[in-house]
Amino acid sequence: MSDQGISVLDRGFVRLVDHMGTDLTVVNAARVSFGKRKEAFDEKDAELVSYLAAHEHTAPFRHAYLTFHVKAPIFVFRQWMKHRVASDFNEISGRYVEFSPDEFYVPELFRQQAKINKQGGEGQIPEESRQAAMEAYTAACRNSVNQYKSLIEIGVCKEQARCVLPLALYSEVYWTASLQAIAHFLRLRLDSHAQWEIRQFARAVRELTEPIFPDSLAALMKPYGQQRKL
């Protein structure tokens, strides 16, 4: 496949590496129950896809897979890797690779703690505090990376030196998941309660998935309450 990719945040990206199947794969997986198979996707197939999603007959959606190459901060992957069902990750290893000195995420703005959503942020911190926040943040990240480099120069092995690196450090993974697993990821990580940074990666995943599985993804992404009205 061509190396499709979308830039995310300041240094990250999501690239579609490979995929298996189309919307037709989903309906053929469903129709095998009746010993039937089709060669072309039509309006009746779109109706079947909607029916399957509406009634939570999700097994056919697990016969379609996508593989992405993702570069994101470690704190984003901490959330992303909770999605393990029908989903596998292979990550760059700090035991083999020496990380670059400036490969950490620097936000454009700093959010203040949300009053209602205890784990989230909202708005911006006061203007008079923004420069101090940026200086403290970047100084901490640079100091961690500098100490990491110092440990390596002293002769400490990479697998131990990496322990001082910040959660803002960028890492890279290959992520392979079924279409159902991807839809579940998107339903949770596009929600307004999800952290803003992972929402940007979820948008990129959706943008790369929709052209391949337009009907199936649309059906899986409908709120369940709406689906049951079909």
Give catalytic residues, as residue numbers.
Answer: 189
Under a CB-based contact definition with an 8 Å cutoff, are residues 80 and 91 in contact? no
Which letter does DSSP use for residue 115 in this model? S
Cα separation, 154 vs 148, in Å, equals 10
CA nearest to 197, candidates 100, 113, 67, 78: 78
Radius of gyration of the chain (CA): 21
Cα separation, 195 vs 82, in Å, equals 14
Which is it for the CA torsion 81, 55, 194, 71, positive or negative? positive
Under a CB-based contact definition with an 8 Å cutoff, are residues 56 and 161 in contact? no
Cα separation, 86 vs 83, in Å, equals 8
Cα separation, 129 vs 135, in Å, equals 10
